[in-house]
Structure 1
């Protein structure tokens, strides 16, 4: 009796090389350069592949939050209308930056063009650090 080796169609597709190359890659979404100019912080964030409507910016408790969401569905059909290939992608990435409790929503400006989000945030006035104050004893 001769035994044939076990063979699974998915063995080659989901082997360690595939897992390492696909699942272990660091996320390169939302690379951000931060600089300072004229009393403002300038954030330049890479968001290639996203549209302006995919991006939301909010300010809460002194944190500037940037979220980008992509839902994509590509479908190719032959001349008879049969689906030949269908690919879907759905994902969200986000970043948060502490900008100060003194910064207000109206103070922040944002512009998106050519896959780059540019945000201008004013530097908040530093609160004075109180030194020890003594209370007189009567």
Structure 2
């Protein structure tokens, strides 16, 4: 597989647009880790984050908050061994994902999570916004 040269222009498409929107909106920190696909929906008074994590069990998924960042981690280890006569067959499979999101404007005490059919759903309630205090003052 050939890697593009650093001097080549990256094709900008709709998929890139949404990835960049998500990164700027949630401040993704997961660039140095393996990643998984997410959809983020604005449901009015809360955001719904849907993360694709097929093949993982609920026990292999960890969600934590540190400061203003929510981190979703998933790690899967599987090992099988089969022995017959003089031949041995052994396989190992390992997968690890981690992704972080800025939740500074989220009520972190009210976050709910559910995992079903390979999709992790998080309900992220928005903090109540303080009334806009911007106004013009007339100069006399």
Normalising by the residue count of structure 2, what TM-score does the alignment of the two structures yield?
0.63
Name the counterpart of 1:93: 97
**Shift in Å, 1:115:** 0.5
- When the two structures are aligned, how many residues end up with a matched partner? 104
Once the two structures are TM-superposed, the CA of residue 91 in structure 1 deviates from its matched residue by: 3.2
SS in 2 for 1:43: strand
Q: Does 1:122 align with 2:125?
A: yes
TM-score, length-scaled by structure 1: 0.64
**Which secondary structure does the structure 2 equivalent of 1:30 belong to?**
coil
Q: Does 1:109 align with 2:109?
A: no
CA distance in 2, matches of 1:110, 1:44: 10
Q: Which has the higher contact order (CA 8 A, sep 6+)?
A: 2
What residue ranges of structure 2 are gaps of 5+ in the alignment? 3-32, 135-140
Listed one character per residue, the Cα deviations across residues 20-76 of structure 1 (whole Å, up to 9, x for unaligned) are 39xxxxx98520000011311000110001110000001111111100011111222
Do the aligned partners of residues 29 and 101 (structure 1) sit closer, same or farther apart at CA in structure 2, a change above 3 Å counting? closer
**1:66 aligned onto 2:69:** no
Contact 2:34–2:98 under 8 Å retained in 1: no
> RMSD between aligned alpha carbons?
2.7
Whole-angstrom CA distance in 2 between matches of 1:102 and 1:60: 13
> For the pair shown, which has the larger CA radius of gyration, 1 or 2?
1
Task: Flag the 1:102–1:112 CA change in 2: closer, same or farther, 3 A.
Answer: closer
